[in-house]
């Protein structure tokens, strides 16, 4: 079974631009979560989607948004990019929504904002 896939793998943008990242969960998985990983802040939860609805949101500004489609694929969008948005963005999927579900992580999208 294919794992979680994320596209693109690398991205370079300039301040003020916007970016859309994509995540395809493992087949059959219905829950998708997004995390930001930086050397200074570590891994921080962005949001969680299940059945096309955002179920949980981390402490990030409104410039960070996401959505989930009926096939469980998810996208996250960052508008008006700032230098501090440079990070590895990880997507994780799980079979269902629950605190005991194992989350399977993708390889991430590395975003560099210049």
Partner 1 sequence: AQSVSQHNHHVILSEAASLELGCNYSYGGTVNLFWYVQYPGQHLQLLLKYFSGDPLVKGIKGFEAEFIKSKFSFNLRKPSVQWSDTAEYFCAVNLNQGGKLIFGQGTELSVKP
Alpha-carbon torsion, ordered 37, 19, 64, 35, to 10 deg: -20
From the list 19, 21, 90, 113, which residue makes contact with partner 1 (rule: CB under 8 A)? 90
Binding mask 12-31 for partner 1 (x = CB under 8 A): -------------------x
Near partner 1 by CB under 8 A, which window of 20-28, 65-73, 76-84, 91-99?
Answer: 91-99
Residues 6+ apart with CB under 8 A from 74: 22, 23, 25, 32, 34, 49, 66, 67, 68, 91
Q: Which residues bind partner 1 (CB under 8 A)?
A: 3-4, 31, 33, 35, 42-45, 48, 50, 55-56, 58, 90, 92, 94, 97-108
């Amino acid at each position: 079974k294919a794992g979680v896939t994320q596209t693109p793998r690398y991205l370079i943008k300039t301040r003020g631009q916007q970016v859309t990242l994509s995540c395809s969960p493992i087949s059959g998985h219905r829950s998708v979560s997004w995390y930001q990983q930086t050397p200074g802040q570590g891994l921080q939860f962005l949001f969680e989607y299940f059945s096309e609805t955002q179920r949980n949101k981390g402490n990030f500004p409104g410039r960070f948004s996401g959505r989930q489609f009926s096939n469980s694929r998810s996208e996250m969008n960052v508008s008006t990019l700032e230098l501090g948005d440079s990070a590895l963005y990880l997507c994780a999927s799980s079979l269902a929504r629950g605190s005991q579900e194992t989350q399977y992580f993708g390889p991430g999208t590395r975003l560099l904002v210049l």
